[in-house]
Structure 1
Amino acid sequence: MPNTAHSALFTTLFDDAALFPPGNAPMDSAVRAHEALLGREDTVELVGPFVCRSARIPELVGALAGLTPPPDGFFLSLVARGGRDELLAALAAADAPPLVVGAVELANPDTAAAVAALDELLPKEAAGFVELPWRSLEAGLDALAASTSPDGLRAKFRTGGTDASAFPTEAQLAGAIAGAVRRGLAFKCTAGLHHAVRRADPETGFEHHGFLNVILATAAALDDPSDTAAVAAALAERDPQAVAERIRALDGPRAAAVRGRFTSFGTCSIDEPVCDLVDLGLLALAME
């Protein structure tokens, strides 16, 4: 079971993006692996929704039909592109039991149009995210802050990809986190957060942000969202033990406040980041 002292920090932190690069898992195996994680007592609390592009929803429904027994509900984070019409079509495709749309992640270079589409069409119980282009981050955050959705909308920050240019700098990500906190917005991250602590990938040389660094950066932004240097410093820390000690120092209310802003991140591997937590002594569970 998760270490009870820190479980609030890691509950549903890991959105299952097994279908996405670099994992690119086949649909059938991704669905079976997701259900297996949800069926394990030591991982069920850690795993968020299954992330799937709208174009692959029929394939997902077919894979779920092949499970024995089929799940009563399968929580989905629906990724769609475009504006109102594209979102309407995506939601119609996802209106297929046992799918339950728990979140919608909309990517559109026109952030205002994405916000308007979600304000109109977002399912009542779903969280709405808009992926913000780095080149117009401040305007995007302002558009999200002006949302009329009852529970507000959330930002989505892309933190990696298949080439070096897809990885934001420490200063860029610090500005995004601080900007979200300053406006009272929650956010998730996607891509690149394969490990707990900041590191250079030994094969590609790409500089990867660590998801524990993002937690600490969020805590720093909650302390003072105007101090982006402190937020960036938290993102820059590379010493795993130093990061782990700072994570241990986050008490229950502090952990809840951080997760109220940094809601989750998409990862193509659940085992990889969770094993990092086990190695750092932050979770007491045995990954198979």
Structure 2
Amino acid sequence: MTTNPSAVPPLFTGLCDDAAIFPPGELPLPQAVPAHRTHRTAWYAGLVGPFLCGAGALGALLELVDEPLAIGVIVPAGSTGLAPALETVATEPRLRVAGAEVAADPGMAPAEGARRVVAAFERLLPAGACGAVEIPRGPDLPAALDVLAGTPYRAKFRTGGTAAGAFPTEPELAAFVTGCVERGLPFKCTAGLHHAVRHTDPATGFEHHGFLNVLLATHAALTGGDPRALLAERDGKELASAASELTVPQISAVRAAFTAFGTCSVVEPLDDLIALGLIQAR
């Protein structure tokens, strides 16, 4: 992989969806929107995906929009929340719905909850928008992945949060990645991937997965390997070296599988990639 000083390399293009308004960052919306504009016009703009906005904040977002903005609509309530969310933004031409991320309907088996979201996507998702179904952790996850396999939609998996229990173990995350790869199912992650490399947060003691670990674990799964060792790796130089050795076809395959992750800070992932020599700052 070659690093172009004028662009973000393909392994990282569009990798970071801007979730600045979500915990733990929780940047106020009036600050988050102009900050996103800055990211999208900076030299590293290629790293940055759409602005993620929760369904409950869409009304406030409408009041701040003064030029075109691509958004990802986050709907934690399940399939019944999708129509009201999309209706809120339907009359604002400056907002382009790039995607919708909807939690599998609660109160039922995850497979049935995912099935209901898929049905809602088929009825309501705007043309050109990507749909992702957030699958709850647990033993029923494979059945929910089976529902999404063969559809145009992605799986979404929570990789962290504001409590230690919100972070999946290495075997758990490896099983999700492998499960998606085996089904040819693209996926994205959300929460907890603040840095490139697996680490223990010194302030909270939480064990954070690294997004570079996940990228390389995805490559391992695609090539018949075991992702667990790569998810556990804490040596940034080793991970950076492995990433640099990926070929163009391998990079394309990895990013077709692991499409993006939501992060409340675009700057932290960028700084890590610069420090690891995987992106050259301009």
TM-score, scaled to structure 1: 0.91
- Residue 237 (structure 1) aligns with: 233
Shift of 1:83: 4.3
Bigger shift: 104-113 or 238-247? 104-113
Q: Over residues 22-47 of structure 1, what are the superposed CA-to-partner deviations in whole Å (9 max), with x where a residue is unaligned?
A: 1000001100000011112x121111
1:86 and 2:89 aligned = no
- Residue 137 (structure 1) aligns with: 141
1:172 and 2:167 aligned = no
Shift of 1:82: 3.5
Q: How does 1:81-160 map to 2 (within 5 A)?
A: 81-95=76-90, 96-108=92-104, 109=106, 110-135=113-138, 136-147=140-151, 152-160=152-160
Aligned residue among 27, 30, 41 for 1:28:
30
Distance 1:164 1:61 in 2: 35
8 Å contact from structure 1 (residues 81, 87) kept in 2 = no
1:18 and 2:20 aligned = yes
Bigger shift: 18-27 or 55-64? 55-64
1:253 and 2:255 aligned = no
1:183 and 2:183 aligned = yes
Shift of 1:63: 1.5
8 Å contact from structure 1 (residues 82, 114) kept in 2 = no
Distance 2:232 2:89 in 1: 39
Q: Which runs of 5+ in 2 are unaligned?
A: 107-112
1:243/1:282 CA distance change after superposition, 3 Å: same
Distance 1:120 1:134 in 2: 26
**What's the secondary structure of 1:45's corresponding residue?**
helix
**What one-letter code is carried by the residue in structure 1 that aligns with 2:34?**
R
Q: Over residues 198-233 of structure 1, what are the superposed CA-to-partner deviations in whole Å (9 max), with x where a residue is unaligned?
A: 000011111000000000000001001xx5xx2111
Shift of 1:80: 0.9
8 Å contact from structure 2 (residues 79, 103) kept in 1 = no
CA RMSD in angstroms comes to 1.5
TM-score, scaled to structure 2: 0.92
Distance 1:83 1:216 in 2: 31
Distance 1:118 1:222 in 2: 28
**What one-letter code is carried by the residue in structure 2 that aligns with 1:233?**
A
Q: Over residues 80-133 of structure 1, what are the superposed CA-to-partner deviations in whole Å (9 max), with x where a residue is unaligned?
A: 133443211111112122110001000133222112211222212001000001
8 Å contact from structure 2 (residues 150, 185) kept in 1 = no
Q: How many residues align?
A: 270
Distance 1:220 1:28 in 2: 41
- Residue 59 (structure 1) aligns with: 60
- Residue 110 (structure 2) aligns with: none
8 Å contact from structure 1 (residues 177, 218) kept in 2 = yes
Percent sequence identity over matched residues? Answer: 48
Distance 2:276 2:164 in 1: 27
Q: Which runs of 5+ in 1 are unaligned?
A: 65-69
**What's the secondary structure of 1:82's corresponding residue?**
coil
Shift of 1:146: 4.9
